[in-house]
Structure 1
């Protein structure tokens, strides 16, 4: 695989990671309402989920999901349902100003698992890799599966770095919002709306 292909794919990956989507909005929402560390743990979970999707694309499992309307629909609505559940939790949370506090390891572990579920239960991610990776693979070079896996890891690394930067940015904004009680009280509701919109978008996505 040539460096030109790798850099071209890296450029495409950066653009795709920056564009508003379920994953980066999820990271921003968690970093705003909790801390940059929360965003990092969510990012680690999302990247773990990406490993699942990358492996599925390489092994051809994504193609099976794409061809099976039933499997696609089940996974899609499971993901949408999970996000709507998170939205409901946010709406029920007390509307009070937040403060910077230490989170327990259990809380971070929960965030990590949320990131995994958020990513794995979005079948569009698998279909995304299934459609994107082959475009940058050179069959004449051989080792197609290895090429696809390498490209997937490049995307994962780009997503990890950018999402970590998103977390730091959102956390900085959060510190500013702490001095704005009127806005801070509404953050849980804002987070709930974000989760709800992402869930609806996934629910109405087509195979």
Structure 2
């Protein structure tokens, strides 16, 4: 059962989402360290959702349209904010070396918010974990916590991998303003698409 959970987690985490896009943007513009910081912060952004699931609050969130809608629209607004930063070159794609490059603290804050304001993660833990844990078995809560930690570990490894791969191209990107501008547009469109999906589908 743990193997099935691990394989499913790998497949889900490999699928590009807001965290992956943010990590790629940070790595491409500011190198491996920024990418690793972004990956770590995105992973930490999962913790609140995990705690909601373990305490049963995720069920309350899922059953409360007002609470869910509030978080959902905050998530939409933040993704659009990220899109604007990417489009204008003032967000994660601001290269290091320029006076306006985001600090690591700003990178951590942005990465945390990317996942913190994603209600799909709460629903993921609420709906996904019970498939692999018998809630009536002894130690069910601890098993859920263990699987949640495993999911976070998978997320961190894959996000760091994405970041390090993107960092290999960083030197070839930041020295070409035209390429940076195109990438900014690409990431901006990606954030807008994810915001639209969160607004219209979830």
* SS class of match (1:149): helix
1:69 is matched with which residue? 65
* SS class of match (2:201): coil
Q: Deviations over 1:105-133 (max 9, x none)?
A: x7111111111111111111000111111
Aligned residues: 200
1:160 is matched with which residue? 156
Q: Which runs of 5+ in 2 are unaligned?
A: none
Q: Please give the residue correspondences for 1:40-189 in structure 2 after superposition, counting only pairs within 5 Å.
A: 40-93=36-89, 101=97, 107-139=103-135, 141-178=137-174, 180-189=176-185
Distance 2:108 2:134 in 1: 35
Q: Which runs of 5+ in 1 are unaligned?
A: none
TM-score (norm 2): 0.88
The answer to whether the Cα contact below 8 Å between 1:33 and 1:187 also exists between their aligned partners in 2 is: no
Q: Deviations over 1:55-109 (max 9, x none)?
A: 1101011111111111111100101101111211222237xx97664999x7111
Distance 2:129 2:99 in 1: 38
Distance 1:52 1:78 in 2: 16
The answer to whether the Cα contact below 8 Å between 1:57 and 1:129 also exists between their aligned partners in 2 is: yes
Shift of 1:140: 5.3
Shifted more, 112-121 versus 24-33: the winner is: 24-33
- CA-atom RMSD in angstroms: 2.5
Distance 1:193 1:118 in 2: 16
Distance 2:12 2:67 in 1: 26
The answer to whether the Cα contact below 8 Å between 2:29 and 2:173 also exists between their aligned partners in 1 is: no
The answer to whether the Cα contact below 8 Å between 2:71 and 2:118 also exists between their aligned partners in 1 is: yes
Distance 1:46 1:52 in 2: 12
Q: 1:30 to 1:98 in 2, by over 3 A?
A: closer
Shifted more, 7-16 versus 57-66: the winner is: 7-16
